[in-house]
Amino acid sequence: TKQKEPELPLFFGWFLLPEEEERIKCATMDFLKTLDTLEAFKEHISEFTGEVAKEVDLEQYFQNPLQLHCTTKFCDYGKAEGAKEYAELQVVKESLATSYELSVTALIVTPRTFGARVALTETQLKLWPEGADKEGVAPALLPSVEALPAGSRAHVTLGCSAGVEEVQTGLDLLEILALQKEGKEGTQVEMDLGTLTYLSEGRWFLTLREPITADTTFTSFSD
Ligand code: 2AM
């Protein structure tokens, strides 16, 4: 008799515990509130609004995702390449429902996305699928992405602007990291949380003075 294949989830990832989620949302919202009042930001406001001298309320501009998480593998219920292989990895099976502390080291803001960069530990990298960093990356950006350390794409999506899909956050992060590596940094502003850098075309990167840690559970998610 043929055995029914176990169903694959939409994705696997580290999910922030509810109280951690609140703490991170508050801290990051405070940052957004400050960012849109900065002169340096206002100078480039047209990159967000498409018009000169118009204000933008970043808190309204970005829509909150439902549950904060850091995706490891997008499986699309088995339709994504390598989904089954990932789900069957010993390390994945062993890690389900266990706790991990994630470390957020930077925040990014672009006209499309608002996200938190996650610095993965050696242990956490074992759950990061091979080749995940470059999946769906534009050919022009591929060489720069391949030169970045594994796990560079790891992030928590904190918000997307209207009509933008969450998958964009990781792509925006990679673009920013590639520009940084090429030394393409513009204006820098010192803030309470850390150093804010402008990277052209409405891209902002805040390197946190102190990483923000968050307790999470590794699990799968299906809608
Ligand atoms: P995110 O990880 O950047 O937030 C469900 O859609 C989750 O899977 C979202 O969290 C989303 O983005 C992520 N996701 C969607 N499509 C993806 C893709 N093609 N590659 C990687 N992650 C994807």
Least confident of 45-54, 186-195, 214-223: 45-54
The pTM (predicted TM-score) of the whole model is 0.95
Catalytic residue ranges: 69, 155
Contact criterion met (CB below 8 Å) for 207 and 190: no
Q: Which residues line ligand 1 (CB under 6 A)?
A: 10-11, 71, 74, 135-136, 157, 166-167, 169-170
Cβ–Cβ contacts within 10 Å for residue 33, how many?
12
4-26: average pLDDT: 92
Q: So what's the pLDDT on residue 192?
A: 92
Q: How confident is the model at residue 155 (pLDDT cuts 50, 70, 90)?
A: very high
Give dist(CA 53, CA 75) in Å, integer: 43
DSSP alpha helix (H) spans, the chain: 18-35, 39-43, 46-49, 58-61, 83-87, 90-95, 122-125, 142-146, 168-181
Q: Measured from the CA of 170, which atom of ligand 1 is nearest?
A: 3
How confident is the prediction for the chain on average, in pLDDT? 94
73-97 burial, b at 16+ Cβ within 10 Å, e below that, comes to bbbeeeebeebeebbeeeebeebee
Which residue out of 167, 174, 216, 220 has the highest number of ligand 1 atoms within 8 Å of its CB and is therefore the one to mutate? Answer: 167
Distance 9 CA to ligand 1 centre (A): 12
